[in-house]
Structure 1
Amino acid sequence: MTDTNGARVSRRRLFGLAGAGAALAGAGAVAGVAADRALAAPTQAAPAAPAPVPFRGEHQAGITTPAQDRMHFVAFDITTDRREDVIALLRKWTAAAERMTQGREAEENGAVGGAAEAPPADTGEALDLSAAGLTLTIGFGPGLFDGRFGLADRRPPALADLPKFPKDALDPARSGGDLCVQACANDPQVAVHAVRNLARIGFGTVAVRWSQLGFGRTSSTSRSQVTPRNMFGFKDGTNNLKAEDTDALREHVWVRRGDGPDWMAGGSYLVARRIRMHIETWDRETLAGQEAIIGRKKGNGAPLGQVEEFDQVDLHVRGAGGEALIKDDAHIRLASAEALGGVRILRRGYNFTDGSDGLGHLDAGLFFVCFNRDPRTQFVPMQQALSSKDSMMEYVQHNGSALFACPPGVRDGGYWGETLFS
């Protein structure tokens, strides 16, 4: 049974409601006592919201920032051929993005303070909400360098089209894009509000090509965070690079001067892959089989043959009978730096569930996002090894893919992409 708010009513509460009429006579006195006690009790202030993440700096926020709980990722196609239109949009986006990452409207008094006869300059769904750790990160796709805007000679060699990997089933409607914006926040409405308003500001200059919502992070980017779990139920990204690993970030994530065009120095390359997980098939696999495929224990995430999650992985460890505990086709082996000649990437992915496929199967999985200094020598060899040898490939399918060059951070008085267009 439910009450008028749709909440379930217990049998105990049902009997209480039945006797409510008889109790009304004493209700006033009881309420008075309760009110007196409430007034006498000390007021407990609500916890203060965390400080907003700085928008400007050497590097863009949203890369090494401790991964937030929610994400809204969007890829845009540019619909104009005018270079000045793109620059003007990037200036407007920068101003709006900086405001929104501070917990403010996309434009001053944009939601309700403008003329009543005109559409609001801010859509308003984030009014009264904090910044919720919002970060906005922009990236430039290969299409931006196709000659329309005089940038063909400024395309970084590392922004080379990704090859087709074995077992890819890429959907063009979920791939590519001239620009991307990654919005991450600890409140999904804050992230959606940010993307919605950037898309609104861009009307006439850009159009949404595809987007993806993520409801739970699948990696930790700081030692202060616990390792989350993916849709297969395993801890994901235990060995991920962390914000505290400054030397490793310099080696594997941040583009250096001399790596390519100077405008990318301090930036990074973002690879996005939409990976559908065949949940129902995986759920029929035995626990031992699942652990063998991953190479870790499902409970605490320890590498097979070890005790705790962060114990050093030993790819050569053997069982009591002499058999290798981490198989040649185990995911943990193929993705390891040891097996890849020292290659590492910074992962920043999210779980997703987009309903069902019409056959009663969940359209769910991992929206994989990673940042690396050069995809040609980092992501590409890693994915080639995984897609051709990983036993997990039986349970997943890559159906979306994109690559973007994320410029360095915005300096004071500057705008997104200024180093490219100046």
Structure 2
Amino acid sequence: MSRLDETHDPGRRSWIESANAPGTDFPVQNLPYGVFSHGGGPCRVGVAIGDMILDLTAAEGQGRLGTGQPVFDTGSLNRFMARPKEEWTSMRRRIAALLDAAAGTRDLPLVAQADAVLHLPAEIRGFTDFYASREHATNVGSMFRDPANALLPNWLHVPIGYNGRASTVVVSGTPITRPLGQLKGPEDAAPRVGPTAKLDFEVELGALVGTGNAMGAPMSAAEAWEAIFGYVLLNDWSARDIQVWEYQPLGPFLSKAFGTTISPWVVTRDALEPFRVPPPERAVPLLPYLREETPNNLDIVIEAELAPEGRAGRRILRTNARWLYYSAAQQLAHHTLSGCAMETGDLLGSGTISGEARESWGSLLELTWNGRDPLDVEGGRRAFLEDGDSVTLRGHCDGPYRIGFGTCAGTIRPAPAAPGPRD
């Protein structure tokens, strides 16, 4: 059921002129939440509007938001995300009214984005990475197994995932250290320890859980959709050569645990309501708990740019979250099927998002076909990432207005020395 309201009105404008500029990521119809600091002060909760930030912590303290008990006073979104979903919607309406061009009072606490430092928007309680793109799974299966049987028998029936590390989820702009791990080539007699030579990125969409479920109480797909607070861009950095040696029989471990970057602004589920689209056609019927009564995929264009150190960046791919075979709601519903309790601040990664065309493949593993076909970049070629390389993801929805996510960026720094016994 569509839940469009006055906050989605394409004709609505803000008294903050930068929010009305063509191509802005943050018009008054977006209002994504984030955490920021400025002037060396503490972390505060805010909303992006044009090139400014509305300081919700200050506005709440001034009694402008009508929250009663404070929800924006902890330097994190978790307290607000844990509130009932009806309060998410009513707060969005209240903030939109304050920023509307017709608003009578305009002396709100604002900070220029250029003067702010952005932080992780929430305390990430747990991180699960899925494998929800059929095209990506098919590419990987074709690369490492039989192309005629690229998908494993369970893939079309169950959202495949693994539990990652919340401790290494970082905000955009945080450097990523090249990881060490055990490496063993096909001709090697034994493994060795060393830095990955096949460092990769993964273009993903992240979903933040707002209201979780009690242990032992599974969610339906419809309930899971309602439990998601909002979405971020996500890059789950990957060490492909470490992964090849370690992933059998239990899956990724060190190859995916060293760093996951997310964008700082959380675009709410309410803001994305006009951009819901149907999923790809199902190859086989899904089990009842995964069936969706509403279109829960999202039409979000995501691009990746690669910039060698000291060089200009170049866009190397353009993909779309609408092609995911399993939506974030289905991922969350499956996560709870066994009775697993999900908590406020849990993060779900979609897994690499790829389309059918080569230019839409969401990782270097695919774009270079495991290094066989290097890409041209400024000043050279890349099979995988080198030290000093920067990867930047940008995402947006296109319609009568633009809903942007900002950037999700990280730069690779050299690996540390391998540890060994003390002298």
Which range, TM-score by smaller chain? under 0.3
Q: Which has the higher strand share?
A: 2
- Structure of higher CA gyration radius: 1
